[in-house]
Structure 1
Amino acid sequence: MAPTESFLTELRAGFQRFADPERAKGQQAYLKTLEPMLGITNGDLRSVVNAVSLELLGRRPGLADLLAVTEYTWAHAQSRDERSAAIFLLALPRYARLVTFDAMPLIRQLVVEGAWWDLVDALVKVQPYARASAPAESDALMRAWAVDENFWIRRYAIISQLGTKSDLDKDLLVDCILPNLADREFFVAKAIGWALRDHARHDPEWVRAFVALHERRMQPLSRREALKHL
């Protein structure tokens, strides 16, 4: 049985050692949230999640147990820090490599319920692993997510290949970007620019050509972000 309750109990105990109410106020302002925060630095949050998960889940748990702990922690979270911890657990390198396409329903749930950039963007780190287990199914899903009515789902699809470098599938990237080119939603336009800027490190000429071809439809923010370092 997955150590769901014990994980959250140990997590909270570990977090209390690093809580800082004054820092929490600044974090809430930065994230523009009224959700309770403990004022834990990202480094301390990661160290607690790493230690507790290693103790209770070990180095190679079954995917079902990993997803169960993630979902339980998310569902019972009493602070933004605990929700962040649920996502970070899934994205820990030793666990992310265990993630398969079977995790996508939970990932969608976390994106929809998280509905803010820090949580959504953190989840993207597991996408290359989910895709590796079922490339065709994953690509079809990202193309479907790129036209979803929920713009956070669309953002996830657009940035789903961040960090893949020369392994990036340009056709998939284009198919995720084109339906959203004219979208004025800030987080969608920013995602388009970010995805293009990330790939510009490896193929700047392709990015320049893409922007030149579509600049009349692109939002200015997307164009600026895409060409930022070119």
Structure 2
Amino acid sequence: MSFISELKSAFQENSNSEMAVAMEKYMRNHFIFFGIKTTERRAIFKTILKQHKEEVSRNSRKIAWDLFVKKQRELHYCAIEILMQTLKKNYIKEDIQLIEKLLITHSWWDSVDTISKFILGEYLLEFPEETTNVIERFSNSDNMWLNRSALLFQLGYKQKTNAEILFSECIKHSDSSAFFIQKAIGWALREYGKTNPELVKTFVNQTNLKPLSKKEALKNLH
């Protein structure tokens, strides 16, 4: 049995319809769930991955994509985790095409935020020369989730954060009425504020941000 077939079968066997309803409700019914909690899902995933290690490492991009286009949200999470494990320090330049497809497929905050930080962010650390073009393209897109990823890709960069890009993205989207953009601006600034609090406070005080963005940015900054 292939990795995907075995994983799907194991998830089916461990599905919980009551939990699935609650999870689907939490995600505004955008997705179908098996109803498996994160800890249990990861344990099942780890066991099956160990049995198919060679198959997955050889075909990680294709397997991840094949999982990501399936219906159940738990399979999307596994797809992301496969890429996080196998591509770190092993990205190729063309991976940006896969990253973009992942960001605009089955898009919701849970997948987009993880992909932005742990996949797009890592990719651009490996190919810093691609940052300007990629972020400009994502930022100018009509797709809100690509806009959000352009704001969030530096989460966790700390001292490596390019403040010029961060601030310019925040200004560019500061008039957005979209909740997920306003929230992303605040989150990105708050995160960088842990590294450079004074610079973030100065920026927030001198920039006309939406109240939600400002509130989120200054949370924990005194």
TM-score, L = length of structure 2: 0.91
Q: By how many angstroms is 1:34 displaced?
A: 4.7
1:155 to 1:170, Cα distance in 2 relative to 1, 3 A: same
Partner of 1:219: 210
TM-superposed CA distance for 1:210, in Å, is: 0.7
Q: How many residues align?
A: 220
Contact 1:146 1:177 in 2 (8 A): no
Q: Displacement of 1:167 after TM fit?
A: 1.3
Residue 101 of structure 2 is aligned with which of 106, 109, 121? 109
Map 1:4-83 → 2, pairs under 5 A: 6-58=2-54, 61-62=57-58, 65-75=59-69, 77-83=70-76
- The one-letter code sitting in structure 1 at the alignment partner of 2:3 is F
Runs of 4+ in 1 over 6 A off after TM superposition: none
Equivalent position of 2:88 in the other structure: 96
RMSD, aligned α-carbons: 2.0
The one-letter code matched in structure 2 to 1:71 is: W
Task: Give me the whole-angstrom Cα distance separating, in 2, the residues matched to 1:131 and 1:123.
Answer: 12
Pick closer, same or farther for the CA change 1:167–1:112 going to 2, 3 Å.
same
CA distance in structure 2 between the aligned counterparts of 1:139 and 1:123, rounded to whole angstroms? 18
The one-letter code matched in structure 1 to 2:212 is L
Cα distance, 1:17 vs. partner?
4.3
Q: Give the deviation of 1:82 after TM superposition.
A: 1.4
Give distance in 1, aligned partners of 2:95 and 2:45: 20
2: CA distance between counterparts of 1:28 and 1:51? 25
Question: 2: distance between equivalents of 1:170 and 1:34?
Answer: 34
Partner Cα distance (1:166, 1:100) in 2: 25
Deviation for aligned residue 1:158: 0.4
Q: Say if 1:10 and 1:97 are closer, same or farther in 2 by CA, change over 3 A.
A: farther
Deviation track 1:111-168 (CA, whole Å, cap 9, x = no partner) reads 1112210111121211232113211113321122112111110001100010111111
SS of residue paired to 1:143: helix
**Are 2:195 and 1:202 aligned?**
yes
Structure 1: 5+ residue stretches without partners: none
